[in-house]
Amino acid sequence: EAQLVESGGGVVQSGESLKLSCKGSEITLNTYAMKWLRQAPGKGLEWVAAINNGGVTGTSSTSYAESVKGRFTITRDRAENTLYLQMDNLGPEDTATYYCAAYAYLYRPLSDWKWRGQGTQVTVSS
């Protein structure tokens, strides 16, 4: 069964870092546009970061929500078939459940994923 599995969440203090992973099973991640999403308690789903599928050249471009730009970095390891989100200088506002999701195209609507993982919880204390 095709699925995405996130890991790496936890409880940290403000200013600390975490690195999330998203492993693809029966899904070749580099053939899809991949996004990290998050949902804070009582709030809607929010886009965090995206990486396109690289196309013919294999070169991927990345983009970030303004709230995380300069602090978060999205990368993808083709050999490991894994997507990562390096999160630095975390703050309480980053507390949320984080999901990875695969899209047919980068600019599909937020909820129009082909697969989404089960999520990993990130809690940042002040």
8-state DSSP, 14: T
- Please tell me the distance from the alpha carbon of residue 31 to that of residue 39, in angstroms, as a whole number: 25
**117 vs 54, which has greater pLDDT?**
117
Q: What is the pLDDT of residues 101-118, one digit of tens each?
A: 999 988 889 999 999 999
Q: Is the pLDDT of residue 55 over 70?
A: no
Name the token pair of 22: 């998203």
Q: How far apart are CA 59 and CA 44, in angstroms?
A: 31
Tell me the three-class secondary structure of 32-61, residue by residue: CEEEEEEECCCCCEEEEEEECCCCCCCCCC
Q: What is the mean pLDDT of residues 94-107?
A: 95
Round the average pLDDT of the chain to a whole number and report it.
Answer: 94
pLDDT band at 58 (very low <50, low <70, confident <90, very high): low
